[in-house]
Structure 1
């Protein structure tokens, strides 16, 4: 492969870790706009701290840094200079470069900057330009030299994607005029070279003229009138022209095509003005092939075709010299470099060997530093570097994306310890901020393809192509290259966003005790296209069920939910609600397959960006995988993608996303998702993989040219999924009566389960593990069917029947659980699933385990229990009536006791644990009920009841035990005062105080969306502090308010008495209430 290591590369790189022989702080940066000879005077050097010109060295690179990882790019590249008298002269490039060869002209426009920076520094023996003697042989009188002028505008990026920019559109009847004023003294053909692009649904032409003289005409084929068809046709022109009077004052471009939206565009053009040996003056001259030149003793003449090895010719020994590119200049006219600023290219001096490298903008450095501190506490060796530091050390001060990649490669090649890179800051396709909008803080790689919606892309994968020879990354399958490390991005645009995401990461990693519901993987599938999305989800779900039975698969297939039609549009409010509920309860992974765009999932809009604002706080965030189009288009300065909104949503949304930034094919989605599903729970040497490793392996195993490069990891690549590190090994499943092993779990059978906590890598028993466990037993999967709304009904299997769920204590690494198999199971024999999760209440360590026992049949001689469950309700903490409350939403908890345990299977119709309010449909509580204290005979449920009415309400609780006995309990609840927003109680503490005061309020609109405002006034009425919050699904007791006296939003108060006012307003009916009081500051 092209990126194999070469011997010279290794040898050169080994020398890079020796310290440079000059002080790293003695560097200065300056810029050029055009190529040419520049100078620094002895006087100027002295002002900068140089003892003399003999220790001044120059460093830089002509144009953009190369994409290919090369060993010589790991060090500063020195440019030879020539000292003459009290000046030091050197030939420098401008930002844009041109190559002239027998193969033609090749123009490279700098993507990242309109100027080019270089460094000067102090060195003991700097490189100097050698002087070569000319000879006296005759020169070639027919030799032609060209002086080139280039022109390019960057006004239009057709797809807002890719690296190619064009002029403004040239419509029918319009022209683009470029004034030049070029003249030649030689009557020789001129070169006119460039590239044009046309957009038209019919064939079109573009003309190149000077005045009214036609210089050339290019024909373009039509483009397809389709969403994903190419958006333009390009053509290169390479003309030889003979302008009248050897004068070219203007080039004009016109377009001819049909349709008001049709247009032509200029990419760039180059004019080569011819000169013969006899009329060369000061300037830069080139030829296709090396030729002879006649030296003029009035000028300095350098051969500069090899930028890093120029040669100065001495005309004293002859007048003829051989070369390909010449710069002829008068030393007295050479521009002195200016606007130098001190820089510190010292990153090579660092001996850090981080596992995680955070690269960020200086604007976000404080957030990156905060994250580094957290990561170090978590045992992840972390370094933070800013883009400016990298540009100075590896880009000579230029904002070149390749400098960042080279720095990462330098770290990687040093000791191979780096595992992940986090890019903290937004990157856009608009490197030079031509279009405005959101900032480009940490640049992202953009494709060469800029006109095809399906193969243009932006990708951070490029930063992972860091082995020798990698980085060319041609946009084809043959050009695919594997990532060496994980790369993720947090596309924050300011401190607030960066800090919110850092807080999310910290909470995710430092809140280890997660609910058992977060051990599920949720598949969300669209309903169109002949069920292809459901079929894909089923394939992925089947793999997880077979290979990772410890995780429950939840199937939120859109076609499972009723849809509502309005005109030609459909909506799915039940599916939308189910998604919101899943995210609120917690799921480990949310994997979406189907149609989408930058802001929406599915045509039915089961997710839209505005939905986020109405989601309740989510304690356990999910990793989102979105196999859809453009959901994660994070490189636009204009469009704010849904993926970005999910990342930066406060206390909800996503902890990370594997998402797409461009249109994608479902087949490519499936291939990548298939690899992801296989990688996500795979362990490496007994350890769970980081997001970065999962992403790297997923991408490397699903390479497909440009088609999968727009999949991005938006998130911290060093994060690991919140999966327990320890294993719960089930040691025995026995019959509760006989004590014999139970190879089959039968209806009416009491089961005793024993398990122990072990280290899965060493199999060592964890005797110090003490805490709690939760066990869940499910019957064999049942066959379900979609509704067939847009495609035919589709059958699939789901673990729907819950046999038992209970909680208990685990001591000294051992647990014992008892449960009774209900009569409500499928009597056919087959494998069910038994899952256990345990957590150490002191250390936070968790363990997980599972087994797939055979379930079926009936236990002979069942118990003779004939009494239904005892029900003991508690309403809003109140155990006995009368029940009078001011809110239409109440919390109800009920303790249930029965010698046979409570039936929660739902297999037998009508025998569900349920609660009913008035005449509403019963609410099924099977999944909510939890047996307690390791005893299946008693347990409880807790639920919030919505929709109670002002006045008297009836509540009916119905419960069945596992052998078929029923009991019910009816309650009367009166709601009074719910029509008005009420603050029922509030507290201010400490009060009196000297630093801060905290506020708590209790209100009568729990579960509703409210707006809360706190204001603090002086006794004269001057407002000192004000803060507002939007409370989504507000809890009954709100305690998020504090007044910190010294914070920036406060006018610092003196000691004394102040007035506070708390106000609540409902978003549904705009009713409001307020309270006020005094705060004493002492």
Structure 2
């Protein structure tokens, strides 16, 4: 991304401007209404466009929208603005004082993968002497300026591939904490692992880039590899490293001020790392400082000494980059000591500080120094439901006090009389003027005003006998020295015009580094090898996976899959290797970004740049593992604002996809993301293995099914009047999807269309909740939720809770779960796993990926963003689809704002939606071509349908053989919301009609045909129905989809033959080996096999549904129509497979009622005993046949269907000696396992003697490690 700002002008531009384009913006305002942002709401005016943006911190609104543009070389002229007055009442909760007096126009250009987007941003509210006005229209002109140069700050396209210095030689790592001059002795080298006997000290080299953080903003100020640090080796001239020899070097610690993050501490590490090697040529040595020859224009014998106190121990809101140290609650007074040897007490000491207060009453900090007041910091009260968790405050910039060599600074927190009010200290910065006098310690010094002064300065140091050198440390890779020959008073000169940093070395005070835990560093060369393929040739990279080293194997498994299946060039890099090469060994998000940028910049051509980045590992708000069970595996970008619970304190992985110059320090809205970034939030090898396997399963033949034609929309109800738009938006989106992608079968689960029931915990929608989870387990391409939510679930009525994501059982039918709600998946807080995380982590259910929120999002922005996202996900107007993460990237770039910052992609960023290819066409009805008038689908009419599987251009795929699944639905049905809460009018919405047929047929040479009888219970008025087709090719990863919406359904077949015979039914639980009265788990699957010569009725006529009655509770039937499918090429018989969930332990009875299409009924029942899932239950353990000669199978019944079980069989002699054993992972669809087989031979392949043997069967759960075992006997003949 690239940001450029142009000045807007109302003046006529000079003659060199041409190619004018005129545009008009009209703003249609709505009255102020409440809109929700997480746990709080605000009442604000809005307007009807995606350009609306709300700033929740300043309580202002902004207009920002893309406008037409042809090039970079454009200016904009505002030709005319029309206003209307707006009253204070209409302004709602907006802060009038923050409304500007001008439009504050700004044009911003973003570039994403060389695509330019120009945005016009302005304040739609303006105040003047007469009040507040709202903009209703703006006329503008874009004019091209021939005098302006083209953009010269695009992403680098010149290849600069280089090798890392770590690619060869022996490297040893050590660490330091504070900045200063360090001494490395011979014994220290030995501790590192170096053999010092043969060291030539002239070849000793130290490398490192210091402890400062890598700039968040993309620029060239931080090296792409570790750089050599100049050193001084005492005693190297003889070529032997003797016991008395040593090395001096300047090490930069993690204690340097960072402007971007406003901290003295490195956010990611407490130590900085350096590397030492003795391989290669001679090392870099500290050179002599060249002093200017002129006379000094300024003489200094004092310097500015900056000291700070900052502890990063507490993150108040568990978000953002700002950490605090001391807490002021029980102890409201605390003192801090600052020592300034040889201080110039005549110069006031400057003090700056940042503090915070979390209190519901006004509070303050009183700061004093040396018993004299310095200043007071006042804080407003934190308002309930304001989205603010605390306020920060500072002393005035002019704050000073009279100092001494020993200073005590006291902070007193006034809690306003409220005991639970808490104050916090971020940092104290104290700047004192000290005399340049030696005092037995090394010390830094500089002249802070040097940058604004021209000439030559002369520094004079006194009591300098022990100061043998002064080092200029301004550039760490070009340190210079000034030597002092035992002079008590020592002077040197330097040029002014910039602030240069120095350190005075005292021979009695050198610092000592620390040996790293793993000092020997393996060779690596990311930069030099990342583009090489197996043949050593250059190959562009499509996809990069970044992961901790302990997850490399699982990441490589995913990479291998995409290399083979997706034909992508995938590379896997460990975070540790990135930190070594790009951050001098330190954790730093900038290192990861710079590594990605190196790959992006060095592609062979712009269109071959890297497309996807997978951050393969969880993240945390705590970079330094200060909290228990931390999950900081691959760090995430956090905003600097840390006190807002909403979108202002966001966390984002988009940082790693911003590749253009001057991007990266994200403060609010941004666009121009260049790379689709996703994160697989895995924490350990087991979880990583499971999530990778889900990706593989998503593409497995077992995943191919007509569930890929389903799209489920869920809309929240109206808890307050402003919520009414949630369901309206979802209903409209469903209609749009049906128009743009008619092959999709859209389900609308609008909560307010269900009966709301009261419970002890509040109002609930039990039927809606059941429909949601039934839809999940039946399968859908996408689930899309719009409404209220949080870390614990969705909607105030708890339609989705944390445990639901864990309990879902939808193997191979994993949807993309879109939740445009508040912080449903706040994965960066390991102290509180969220409902979204549990939904993703489910190894055999849940979602394949999630487009979800990590913070609260404004309702208005959410309602506008969801349709935009859907448009890109489903590629409206095209059959070419991008990956899910790429669709999110495009959507964010289209209209960037602070709300979309909180939307994240969880999952594999290279994943595409499992959308089947077009087309499948209906060609004939009752042997009449559909181009001719065809028969209506009348009640009880037997219909014969024929069709073809074709390519997108309707060419028959004559080599296509497989199966086709067909669903025929009756005419659209109009339903209404019920206004359960009394906050919105009843809203009509249309949904698909009842399924009158679900069947499967054979596709041969691209053609298919099937017949069925139309149920009596169709709605008689004639209208358009829908045929939904889905086909899959035999033994191939290929599937097609299609639809027909021109068929006419309705009317009565007056010539239907009579049928008074009821259907036949057979019932089972979990598998067809089940016998009534047997055991099941708590979530068994009911299997009902139905047969009738005219077919089974699924048309949902009143009283004619296929229903299951559990334990006689006829008031709560389970409707099974949607779970019935016919056998292949046989509409007269089929099967219901219905999952029950969380049944109580004990005996249960299920009664099935079904009807044929003539409405002849059948009733049957089955009994089963539910056992708990906590322990494994083994029954019917046997081997068959028994006795046997050379073949037997080990059978057992268990209560863990669909769960991977670790099964062991040990065969022993009567005396207990194990003669044969077998370990196998077994997963069964039902309760019976008979997968383990044996030929009667021992572990060495020798046949065992005849006789009686004992065997032990052990079964262990791979989910909770529960196990059970049984011992039985067998006989070998």
With structure 1 as the length reference, what TM-score do the two structures score? 0.85
Q: Which residue does 1:383 correspond to in 2?
A: 571
Distance between the aligned counterparts of 1:42 and 1:976, measured in 2?
77
CA drift at 1:612? 4.5
Distance between the aligned counterparts of 2:394 and 2:976, measured in 1?
54
Q: Is 1:148 the counterpart of 2:306 in the alignment? A: yes
Q: Is 1:325 the counterpart of 2:505 in the alignment? A: no
Q: CA 1:809/1:867 → structure 2, altered by over 3 Å: closer, same or farther?
A: same
Which region of structure 1 is more displaced relative to structure 2, 540-549 or 349-358?
Answer: 349-358
Q: CA 1:983/1:444 → structure 2, altered by over 3 Å: closer, same or farther?
A: closer
Answer whether contact 2:1108 2:1150 (CA < 8 A) is retained: no
Q: Which residue does 1:165 correspond to in 2?
A: 323
424, 427, 442: which one aligns with 1:265 = 424
Count of residues in correspondence between the two structures: 1040
1086, 1091, 1098: which one aligns with 1:904 = 1098
Which region of structure 1 is more displaced relative to structure 2, 443-452 or 516-525?
Answer: 516-525
Q: Is 1:339 the counterpart of 2:523 in the alignment? A: no
Distance between the aligned counterparts of 1:11 and 1:551, measured in 2?
40
Which region of structure 1 is more displaced relative to structure 2, 559-568 or 13-22?
Answer: 13-22
CA drift at 1:540? 2.0
Distance between the aligned counterparts of 1:1027 and 1:558, measured in 2?
52
CA drift at 1:242? 4.6
Which region of structure 1 is more displaced relative to structure 2, 391-400 or 951-960?
Answer: 951-960
CA drift at 1:546? 1.1
Q: Is 1:66 the counterpart of 2:215 in the alignment? A: yes
Q: Which residue does 1:254 correspond to in 2?
A: 412
646, 661, 665: which one aligns with 2:858 = 665
Q: Is 1:785 the counterpart of 2:976 in the alignment? A: yes
1:984-1022 Cα deviation digits (max 9, x unpaired): 6334589999xx99864347x899999999998987999
Q: Name the SS for the 2:832 alignment partner.
A: coil
Distance between the aligned counterparts of 2:261 and 2:842, measured in 1?
50
Distance between the aligned counterparts of 1:945 and 1:648, measured in 2?
21
CA drift at 1:846? 0.9
Q: Map residues 592-603 of structure 1 onto 2, 5 A cutoff.
A: 592-603=785-796
CA drift at 1:1023? 13
CA drift at 1:309? 4.5
Q: CA 1:228/1:645 → structure 2, altered by over 3 Å: closer, same or farther?
A: same
Answer whether contact 2:304 2:448 (CA < 8 A) is retained: no
Q: CA 1:978/1:487 → structure 2, altered by over 3 Å: closer, same or farther?
A: closer
Answer whether contact 1:747 1:824 (CA < 8 A) is retained: no
Q: CA 1:708/1:953 → structure 2, altered by over 3 Å: closer, same or farther?
A: closer
CA drift at 1:434? 1.8
Q: Map residues 339-418 of structure 1 onto 2, 5 A cutoff.
A: 339=515, 341-343=519-521, 344-350=523-529, 351-352=531-532, 353-378=540-565, 379-415=567-603, 416-418=608-610
Which region of structure 1 is more displaced relative to structure 2, 262-271 or 326-335?
Answer: 326-335
Q: CA 1:22/1:723 → structure 2, altered by over 3 Å: closer, same or farther?
A: closer
Distance between the aligned counterparts of 2:157 and 2:221, measured in 1?
7
Q: Which residue does 2:824 correspond to in 1?
A: 631
Q: Is 1:942 the counterpart of 2:1136 in the alignment? A: yes
Q: Map residues 132-211 of structure 1 onto 2, 5 A cutoff.
A: 132-135=290-293, 137-138=295-296, 140-141=298-299, 144-171=302-329, 174-187=332-345, 188-211=347-370
1:715-752 Cα deviation digits (max 9, x unpaired): 1112222222x322416244546986236845366655
CA drift at 1:158? 1.2
CA drift at 1:212? 2.6
Distance between the aligned counterparts of 2:1233 and 2:802, measured in 1?
26
Q: CA 1:196/1:1081 → structure 2, altered by over 3 Å: closer, same or farther?
A: farther
1:100-137 Cα deviation digits (max 9, x unpaired): 9xxx9975431101111233456658666453035473
CA drift at 1:940? 2.6
Q: CA 1:71/1:142 → structure 2, altered by over 3 Å: closer, same or farther?
A: closer
Answer whether contact 2:1088 2:1136 (CA < 8 A) is retained: yes
Distance between the aligned counterparts of 2:1145 and 2:182, measured in 1?
84
Q: Is 1:502 the counterpart of 2:681 in the alignment? A: no
Q: Is 1:649 the counterpart of 2:842 in the alignment? A: yes
Distance between the aligned counterparts of 1:1010 and 1:495, measured in 2?
17
Q: Which residue does 1:419 correspond to in 2?
A: 611
Distance between the aligned counterparts of 1:629 and 1:929, measured in 2?
37
Q: Which residue does 1:1046 correspond to in 2?
A: none
Q: Is 1:299 the counterpart of 2:468 in the alignment? A: yes
CA drift at 1:423? 1.4
Which region of structure 1 is more displaced relative to structure 2, 609-618 or 941-950?
Answer: 941-950
177, 197, 209: which one aligns with 1:33 = 177
CA drift at 1:401? 1.3
CA drift at 1:636? 0.9
Q: CA 1:64/1:974 → structure 2, altered by over 3 Å: closer, same or farther?
A: closer
Answer whether contact 1:869 1:902 (CA < 8 A) is retained: no
Q: Which residue does 1:1068 correspond to in 2?
A: none
Answer whether contact 2:380 2:391 (CA < 8 A) is retained: no
Answer whether contact 2:321 2:641 (CA < 8 A) is retained: yes
Q: Name the SS for the 1:578 alignment partner.
A: helix
Distance between the aligned counterparts of 1:686 and 1:1034, measured in 2?
36
Structure 1 vs Structure 2 CA RMSD: 4.7
Q: Which residue does 2:1002 correspond to in 1?
A: 809
CA drift at 1:539? 2.3
Answer whether contact 1:954 1:970 (CA < 8 A) is retained: no
CA drift at 1:782? 0.8
Q: Name the SS for the 1:805 alignment partner.
A: strand
Q: CA 1:737/1:753 → structure 2, altered by over 3 Å: closer, same or farther?
A: closer
Q: Which residue does 1:1049 correspond to in 2?
A: none
Answer whether contact 1:69 1:409 (CA < 8 A) is retained: no
Q: CA 1:23/1:488 → structure 2, altered by over 3 Å: closer, same or farther?
A: closer
CA drift at 1:626? 1.4
Distance between the aligned counterparts of 1:960 and 1:847, measured in 2?
31
1:1016-1043 Cα deviation digits (max 9, x unpaired): 89879999999999x9999443579999
Q: Name the SS for the 1:679 alignment partner.
A: helix
1:669-697 Cα deviation digits (max 9, x unpaired): 22232122112222898543222212222
Distance between the aligned counterparts of 1:443 and 1:609, measured in 2?
25
CA drift at 1:450? 0.3
CA drift at 1:406? 0.9
Q: Is 1:732 the counterpart of 2:923 in the alignment? A: yes
Q: CA 1:74/1:734 → structure 2, altered by over 3 Å: closer, same or farther?
A: farther
Distance between the aligned counterparts of 2:657 and 2:1203, measured in 1?
45
CA drift at 1:819? 4.9
Q: Is 1:920 the counterpart of 2:1114 in the alignment? A: yes
Q: Which residue does 2:634 correspond to in 1?
A: 442
Q: CA 1:374/1:951 → structure 2, altered by over 3 Å: closer, same or farther?
A: closer
CA drift at 1:605? 2.0
CA drift at 1:616? 4.2
CA drift at 1:419? 1.7
Distance between the aligned counterparts of 1:229 and 1:587, measured in 2?
38
Answer whether contact 2:226 2:581 (CA < 8 A) is retained: no
Q: Map residues 701-712 of structure 1 onto 2, 5 A cutoff.
A: 701-705=894-898, 707-712=899-904
Q: CA 1:696/1:1000 → structure 2, altered by over 3 Å: closer, same or farther?
A: farther
Q: Which residue does 1:75 correspond to in 2?
A: 224
1:912-932 Cα deviation digits (max 9, x unpaired): 566779783676554344455
Answer whether contact 2:1001 2:1010 (CA < 8 A) is retained: yes
Unpaired stretches in structure 1, ≥5 consecutive residues: 1044-1054, 1066-1071
1:372-417 Cα deviation digits (max 9, x unpaired): 2333332332221111011011111001111011111111222144
Q: CA 1:741/1:568 → structure 2, altered by over 3 Å: closer, same or farther?
A: same
Unpaired stretches in structure 2, ≥5 consecutive residues: 5-109, 115-149, 237-245, 533-539, 1239-1250, 1262-1266
Answer whether contact 2:1087 2:1135 (CA < 8 A) is retained: no
Answer whether contact 1:734 1:741 (CA < 8 A) is retained: no
With structure 2 as the length reference, what TM-score do the two structures score? 0.73
Distance between the aligned counterparts of 1:884 and 1:135, measured in 2?
104
Q: Which residue does 1:287 correspond to in 2?
A: 447
CA drift at 1:92? 3.3
